[in-house]
A and B are shown apart, each in its own frame.
Chain A
Amino acid sequence: MAEPEYTVVSDSETSAEEKPSSSYPEIAIGIDIGTSQCSVAIWNGSDVEILKNIRDQKVNRSYVTFKDEIPSGGVSDQVALSEHEIFSGAAIFNMKRLIGRMDTDPVVHASKNLPFLVQTLDIGVRPFYAALVKHVWRSTTPEEVLAVFLVELRAMAEVQLKRAVRNIVLTVPVSFSRFQVTRIARACAMAGLHILRLMTEPTAVALLYAQQQQQVAHENMGSGNEKIALIFNMGAGYCDVAVTATAGGVSQIKALSGSVIGGEDVLQNVMHHLLPNLDSIFSSHGINEIKSIALLRIATQEAIHKLTTQMSVPIELDLANGSKIKTTLDRAEFEEVNKEVFRKCEGLVLQCLSDAKLQVEDITDVILVGGCSSIPKLRDLVLGICKRKVAYSGMNPLEAAVCGAALEGAVASGISDPLGSLDLLTIQATPMSLGIRADGNNFVPIIHRNATMPARKELVFTTSQDNQTEALIVVYEGEGKSVEENHLLGYFKIVGIPPAPKGTPEINVCMDIDASNVLRVFAGVILPTSQQPATPFMEVRMPTVDDGHGWCAEALLKTYGSTLDVNTFQKKIQH
């Protein structure tokens, strides 16, 4: 769809400066799709290079505008859209925060005052998104928006690298569900891109850190002692924390934690503080309301930026509907309004530290990255928990994740570097527990959170009814004790269980995650007498659920009750 841009850019002379040679044709590029900004980087044979767009910028604002015939992300436009134009209703943004979410999700509801249309019916299906094109709401989907954008990023990379680009390493937030991952993978597929590796954002930052530490060790001829870093990454959409232990170029993720809180929440909080009846004013989504909300958003963004260096900032604003805002926002007020956000961030850091079984004294470096890492309160908070005065200064907070992804792209593409700069490895951990529904409505984890990847674990289950011949395996992801608190990934049935009293047949459920983060569930019945499978085992690639996954589980329960339930197996162990 955005194919024309391709030729436009390749005609331009300005982008034809020094280019990496095409002697490494297969290197996967690193892409960081942020909620508000995107960037692309690649290993150019000696170093990581962030590709610049036609405007000579390393970061691209994440939006797609529908105002012309062809939806455009503006990567190849000579002149960038102004914030006023982005917020005019014709552009869709924040899609990384909304992708793969149902219309019952609070994050979707909190996005209803964005300048474009977010409509929900609250029945557990995908929400309706639309951009304002010539006074008509034109519908779109997060996948489409991201695909349009990815096509432009791809074209940009192809022009500069003078080769086709297919393989990418993509960074995602820690709290992304597997369902969200499939949505983003679909967007990549629509853009003709194949995800070679998926990394959580702090994992990518950890790999960059591992490389930097290894270089330091080389230079000092040091022994390359193990270094432990806490990585705090907060962008516009998500907050992630990781603890990594690194030595000799190997980065081992000890623990991950993450949540969907980010700069967007901070922005919303301040906007609501400035204009308390914001939601009711904006509910009709008229042209004037969109203008007002755009003005408010822009003014608030500016104020928040200024507050990172100033103690207070005056705000004076004429909203399009005639109302005026004239006030001064000081830092204390800002921090008070956002205290809940900061409290959640604190919780994530503490949880990650305790999961990693670490004392703060063990930490070598505290790395603060992401757009929100410049907020003084957040810096103080994280450094305070870690009992540090200063943060690690070796990386650009807005480029760290994409650089790490580019490194992983080179490593996973089998590239080696004569100087040893790619003598690296990242050992990833699973961000969420994976398990099935058993013992009633309980979630029984099989692979636990923070398990080292690739991982394989198995548990034995049994029937819940006498002479039960079929069993329903319902797979979930998350940390909640009961299944409702977790994300449904899929379900399938095991048939041909030999009739027996409840609690006797052995149903084996095995989960396997490979290095590309593909989850396979392998299940079947083993006959106790012969120790052989009763019927062929099932191998199911997850997730299998598609739209409407919000109510699949309820529908299953309604139809089958507990007749196909499984319980955890607690047979007396014989010698």
Chain B
Amino acid sequence: MFSITSNHLLSVPKSPGLYHQQSLEKHSLRWREKKSITIRCCYRKRGVEAKTADYYKLLGVSVDSNPQEIKEAYRKLQKKHHPDIAGQKGHEYTIMLNEAYHVLMAEDLRRNYDASIGRAGLGKDFSGLGYSSWKGPLRSQALFVDENSCIGCKECVHHAGNTFMMDDTLGCARVKVQFGDEDKQIEVSLDSCPVNCIHWVDREELPVLEFLIRPRPREAYGVFSGGWERPSNVFVAAKSFHKQLKRQDHQQHQRTAQGAGDEETTAQVKARARASIKLRMEQLSRLWSWMTDISG
């Protein structure tokens, strides 16, 4: 039922989203958040999923960013858009920034928010399987190339060609087969890496790391295609990703344990109620800016 409203509102010629786009364009935004602002005018997807991107993208931070990064991004954006600096036209945008900041900085709110957006973002297409295959028995440790640091020198491929391979499109090395060569050769290839981007990792972590290091298309909105991205620190990202997975499993577990679900936990009911209030809020906020827009 919410989608009806938003469609209705968007069919109004001077929709709030359009208004934002114009006002901010004038305002010469250099940031890539320029794209994120337009999210609101392309509010097509129903409900929560479309909102996901809002908060993280609005602040221009990645889904795995820490509070410090969020804080810095928020302050930078505030310095551009706060009404003290941008004038009254910064009002709407600053309110959105404040809301995003408030949610992402409070641990519990951010958790609920992340939960409400589900696996969107990072984990959507995570299969649980790694990229590399194994030669011989599984070992507790595995090899992993941090492609963010790899400079594409091919030293490792040269020393252990059955284990490492070169990805020519991305210009970096990758593990093709775990322990594809003799241990000695692998050791030499590790030593030969000038930037130390080959890491020993736990076998259990490998699939997530390999999944995360692959560049994925950034969420695209409207006419703006998003480009490609990957987390800047894959190890930190893996940690938060694990946490997310665990939480989801836990929730899944709770839900199934309680049968086919009219009895939710109070926490879940609360979270859903909050999500629903959020939606209503957006609805009214749009209504508000639409009305002020047409009246003045």
Contact = CB atoms under 8 A, between A and B. Distances in A.
A248 B72 CA distance: 9
A53 interface: no
Contacts of A425: 75, 78-79, 82, 84-85
A48 to B, nearest CB: 17
A65 interface: no
Given A522-B288, A532-B8, A426 B84 contact: yes
A510 interface: yes
B272 interface: yes
Contact of B78 (A414, A423, A427, A451): A427
Contacts of B83: 454, 514-516
Interface string B65-93: 00000011001001100111101101100
Interface string A408-425: 100110100000000101
A412 B82 CA distance: 10
B79 A454 contact: no
B84 A412 contact: yes
Nearest to A423: B79
Nearest to A413: B84
Given A250-B78, A537-B287, A458 B280 contact: yes
A94 B284 CA distance: 44
Contacts of A259: none
Interface in B4-60: 4-5, 8
Nearest to B93: A454
Contacts of B291: 537, 539
Most central of A247, A427, A510, A533 by chain B CB within 10 Å: A427
Given A457-B281, A573-B272, A531 B91 contact: no
B98 A454 contact: yes
Contacts of B287: 533, 537
B75 A455 contact: no
A380 B1 CA distance: 60
B284 A508 contact: yes
A252 interface: yes
Interface in B240-296: 269, 272-273, 276-277, 280-281, 283-285, 287-288, 291
Contact of A456 (B79, B84, B88, B95): B95
Contacts of B78: 250, 425, 427
B285 A510 contact: yes
B26 to A, nearest CB: 15
A240 to B, nearest CB: 21
B144 interface: no
A266 interface: no
Contact of B288 (A247, A454, A512): A512
Nearest to B94: A454
A458 B281 contact: yes
A374 interface: no
A423 B272 CA distance: 42
Give the bracket for the number of chain A residues in contact with chain B. 35 or more
Interface in A444-459: 451-459
A153 interface: no
B164 interface: no
Given A250-B75, A458-B280, A531-B5, A411 B85 contact: yes
A460 interface: yes
A190 to B, nearest CB: 26
Given A412-B84, A425-B84, A455 B281 contact: no
A408 B83 CA distance: 12
Contacts of B280: 458, 460, 508
Given A425-B78, A427-B78, A537-B291, A458 B273 contact: no
Kindly name the residue among B75, B79, B281 whose own CB sees the greatest number of chain A CB atoms within 10 A.
Answer: B75
B54 to A, nearest CB: 15
B101 interface: yes
Interface in A183-227: 197, 226
A570 to B, nearest CB: 9
B199 interface: no
A452 B95 CA distance: 9
B102 interface: yes
Interface in A505-541: 508, 510, 512, 514-516, 522, 531-533, 537, 539
Contacts of B94: 454, 515
A246 to B, nearest CB: 10
B84 A252 contact: no
B4 A531 contact: yes
A426 B273 CA distance: 34
Nearest to A506: B280
Contact of A515 (B4, B71, B82, B284): B82
Contacts of B75: 247-248, 250, 252, 425
B143 to A, nearest CB: 36
Contacts of B273: 573
Interface in A397-437: 408, 411-412, 414, 423, 425-427
Contact of A510 (B2, B276, B288): B288
Contacts of B79: 248-250, 423, 425
B277 A454 contact: no
A414 B281 CA distance: 32
A16 B199 CA distance: 73
Contact of A197 (B71, B84, B95): B84
Contacts of B288: 456, 510, 512, 522
A226 B68 CA distance: 10
A510 B288 CA distance: 9
Interface string A327-342: 0000000000000000
Contacts of A197: 84
Contacts of B72: 247
Most chain A beta carbons < 10 A, residue from B71, B84, B272? B84
A458 B285 contact: yes
Interface string A547-563: 00000000000000000
B3 to A, nearest CB: 10
B98 A460 contact: no
Contacts of A510: 284-285, 288
A278 to B, nearest CB: 47
Residue from the set B2, B82, B90 with the largest chain A CB neighbour count within 10 Å:
B82
Interface in A439-486: 451-460
Given A425-B78, A537-B291, A514 B98 contact: no
23 contacts: A248-B75, A248-B79, A250-B75, A250-B79, A252-B75, A425-B79, A425-B82, A425-B85, A427-B82, A454-B91, A454-B94, A454-B95, A455-B95, A458-B284, A460-B277, A510-B284, A512-B95, A514-B88, A515-B84, A532-B5, A533-B287, A573-B272, A573-B273
Given A414-B85, A508-B280, A531-B5, 11 more contacts: A247-B71, A411-B84, A411-B85, A425-B84, A451-B98, A454-B94, A456-B288, A512-B95, A515-B94, A531-B4, A531-B8
The 10 A-B pairs with the shortest beta carbon distances in the complex, nearest first, are A515-B83, A531-B5, A452-B98, A250-B75, A412-B84, A458-B281, A573-B276, A456-B95, A458-B284, A425-B79
Interface of B: 1-2, 4-5, 8, 71-72, 75, 78-79, 82-85, 87-88, 90-91, 94-95, 98, 101-102, 269, 272-273, 276-277, 280-281, 283-285, 287-288, 291
